[in-house]
Amino acid sequence: MSLRPAPEWTGRIDGAGDEHLRWHSAVRPFTDAPGPGAVVVGFASDAGVRRNHGRPGAADGPDALRAALGPLALQQPLSIEDAGTVVVGGDALEAGQALLATTVTTALDAGRLPVVLGGGHEVAYGTYCGLAASRIRSGRKVAIVNLDAHFDLREADRATSGTPFRQILLEERARGAEVRYAVAGIARTGNTRALFDTATRLGVTHLLDEDCTHERTIDFVDEVLDWADLVYLTIDLDVLPAATAPGVSAPAGLGVPLTVVHAAVRRVAESGKLAVADVAELNPAYDIDARTARTAARLIDTIVTTSSRTNRRHRSGCPCRR
């Protein structure tokens, strides 16, 4: 287990001015000097997927996501940094999650928006622990908004990609912290009755994939945003239809349309409450023409660019949704 330094970003070059700006020319290595902006950090792990008896390959997700992000055009200069990649070797999942948490906390305490590039959905436990340990967490209500076909509330002897939100809820509530978990995109056929019962017992709200129209999904997200002070947004790419996202650990039989997922992501990003985000379960070995990676890159771009615009309005005193 190690933190691999940020790679050199590459992509198309059309010219030297800001009018030709792309992600690869905007990204700089992360420093913990205080200031605004976003920082990406990779989490190269499929140890949790293996423990959950899924198909491995998500450990290659961070590199594929950087490759898809690099060529994307930026309409204005942004502060984007790269903190490198937590590489989980063998079965050292817990140590990898702890290192990820430390990296996320450092970024948050420096004033950045961390965006974690997974990796299996075991990334969620590390991402959240980083938020929980940060200065901005103290005394605030945190909502986890998960766009996912699965609850990931399994009970197991050790952590897997199917256990992170059960771990988070039980540990946070034992400490008396105010945390709420809401999932949009749940597949009835992908979650047993026991998991639905666990969700009910833990006070989890959810919206089924078949009910995820644009209006109902935005209403679902808005209700969570109205309650929360801070939001952790986590996107499991298996929430999308298999035709849109074939390169995932568990392709969807139905899925939520990309336009609806994108609208939900944008809604959270423009709320002014987004503290941290991650994208999970990209499995490049099963992708087709980098279709899943490109889709995920577009969602990440929306998170970063929308949050940046929203934060600039907040700093200038412009009234907007909080």
Residue pLDDT, tens place only, 263-319: 999 999 999 999 999 999 999 999 999 999 999 999 999 999 999 988 766 555 544
Mean pLDDT of 235-258: 97
Q: Is residue 96 part of a domain?
A: yes
Q: Which pLDDT score is estimated for 99?
A: 98
Is 60 annotated to bind ligand? no
The residue among 284, 252, 244, 232 whose CA lies nearest residue 46 is 284
Q: Is residue 170 part of a domain?
A: yes
* Distances 165 to 10, 15, 127, 271, 303 between C-alpha atoms, Å: 35, 45, 11, 23, 22
Q: Is residue 321 part of a domain?
A: no
Q: Which pLDDT score is estimated for 223?
A: 98
Is 152 annotated to bind ligand? yes
Q: Which pLDDT score is estimated for 310?
A: 84
How many angstroms separate the CA atoms of 282 and 245, rounded? 9
How many angstroms separate the CA atoms of 170 and 157, rounded? 15
Is 197 annotated to bind ligand? no
Q: Is residue 17 part of a domain?
A: yes
Q: Which residue has the higher pLDDT, 315 or 110?
A: 110
Range of the domain at 179: 2-316
- Is residue 322 very low, low, confident or very high in pLDDT (cuts 50, 70, 90)? very low
How many angstroms separate the CA atoms of 109 and 320, rounded? 24
Q: How would you label 197-233 residue by residue, b for 16+ Cβ within 10 Å and e otherwise? A: ebbeeeebebbbbeebeeeebbebbeebbeebebbbb
Is 238 annotated to bind ligand? yes
The residue among 45, 63, 41 whose CA lies nearest residue 120 is 45
**Burial tier of 94 (Cβ tally within 10 Å: 0-12, 13-18, 19+):** middle
Q: Is residue 271 part of a domain?
A: yes
User: What is the H or E stretch that residue 307 is in?
Assistant: helix 291-316
pLDDT at 87 over 80: yes
pLDDT at 13 over 60: yes
Q: Is residue 206 part of a domain?
A: yes
pLDDT at 320 over 80: no
Mean pLDDT of 181-197: 98
Q: Which pLDDT score is estimated for 166?
A: 98
Q: Which pLDDT score is estimated for 174?
A: 95
| 276 DSSP 8-state letter | E
Q: Is residue 196 part of a domain?
A: yes
Mean pLDDT of 77-88: 97
Is 109 annotated to bind ligand? no
Q: Is residue 33 part of a domain?
A: yes
Q: For the chain, what is the mean pLDDT?
A: 95
CATH of the domain at 261: 3.40.800.10
Q: Are 229 and 275 in contact (CB under 8 A)?
A: no
Helix (H, G, I), strand (E, B) or coil at 308: helix
pLDDT at 134 over 90: yes
Residue pLDDT, tens place only, 195-222: 999 999 999 999 999 999 999 999 999 9
**Burial tier of 11 (Cβ tally within 10 Å: 0-12, 13-18, 19+):** middle
pLDDT at 69 over 60: yes
pLDDT at 6 over 80: yes
How many separate domains does the chain show?
Answer: 1
How many angstroms separate the CA atoms of 164 and 148, rounded? 13
